[in-house]
Amino acid sequence: MIRVALAMLAMGATTTSDTRDLDRALAGRSPGKPETCLSSSRQLTPQAVNDHVLLYRDGPRIWRNNLSASCPGLDDDAVIVTEIRGGQLCRNDSFYTLQRGGIGIPGPRCRLGVFVPWSRVRSSR
């Protein structure tokens, strides 16, 4: 079964801005054990940081996905289309981008990397 999920990608542009955006998104969080797959029953919305990093928000947790290679077309005006097979979003699953307001020609296929959970650091009192 193929389920296609569309979500607008936000953020983009310069490397310095990308680094600040990523640092801001993950501030006060620490990484956990990487996972190969995430259940598609989660309400995961991808957010592009740059052409090789996606963030998925899942309640208070953020999943960082470093793509296996740079993905041309990931920018602040792109729509990501992910094909989910078997009820999970996994490493090496592919996705492509569409330009909003464009003529619907898909961009190149890109592959997901592993998913690293970033959770809030609990302060010890």
pLDDT score at 5: 36
pLDDT digits (tens, 9 = 90+) for 67-123: 989 998 887 667 888 888 788 999 999 999 887 777 778 888 999 999 999 999 876
Q: What are the sequence ranges of the domains in the chain?
A: 2-120
The answer to whether the predicted template modeling score (pTM) of the entire model surpasses 0.85 is no
Q: Which residues, 6 or more positions from 56, have their beta carbon under 8 angstroms from its beta carbon?
A: 38, 44, 45, 46, 47, 62, 63, 65, 115
pLDDT digits (tens, 9 = 90+) for 41-73: 777 888 888 899 999 998 889 999 999 899 988
- Whether the CB-CB separation of 110 and 67 falls below 8 Å is answered with yes
- Residue 85 host element (H or E): strand 78-85
